[in-house]
Amino acid sequence: MDAGTFKFLAAGIAMGVGAIGSAIGEGMVAARALEAIGRNPEAADKITPLMFVTMAICESTGIYALVIALIILFG
């Protein structure tokens, strides 16, 4: 195998792990927030914005993985 093959393999692994981790994190955040809102509906106004901020932080992990994959491919 040549170096190009290893570049594609490394970029795929980086993106795959980053996307899976991000998706699992976002799912856990949403599940816990919906569970909290279900237990205490009056707190929905406080929980929902925090949920969106936390999901954005989780999503940034996936975006960082994409940046690393692109650096591996074109760097």
Q: What is the pLDDT of residues 37-48, one digit of tens each?
A: 999 999 999 999
Report the pLDDT value the prediction gives residue 74, as an integer from 0 to 100.
92
Number of domains in the chain: 1
CATH number at residue 35: 1.20.20.10
**What is d(CA 22, CA 54) in angstroms, rounded to the nearest whole number?**
11
Q: What is the pLDDT of residue 2?
A: 87
How many beta carbons lie within 10 A of that of residue 48, not counting itself? 12
Query: How many whole angstroms separate alpha carbon 25 and alpha carbon 73?
Result: 26
pLDDT in tens, 2-31: 888 999 999 999 999 999 999 999 999 999
Range of the domain at 59: 23-74
Q: Is 65 within a domain?
A: yes
Would you say residue 59 lies in a domain?
yes
How large a percentage of the chain has pLDDT more than 90?
Answer: 93
Distance CA 17, CA 25 (A): 12
Residue 12 in domain? no
Q: What is the pLDDT of residue 19?
A: 93
pLDDT value at residue 58: 93
- Alpha carbon distance 36, 46 (integer Å): 11
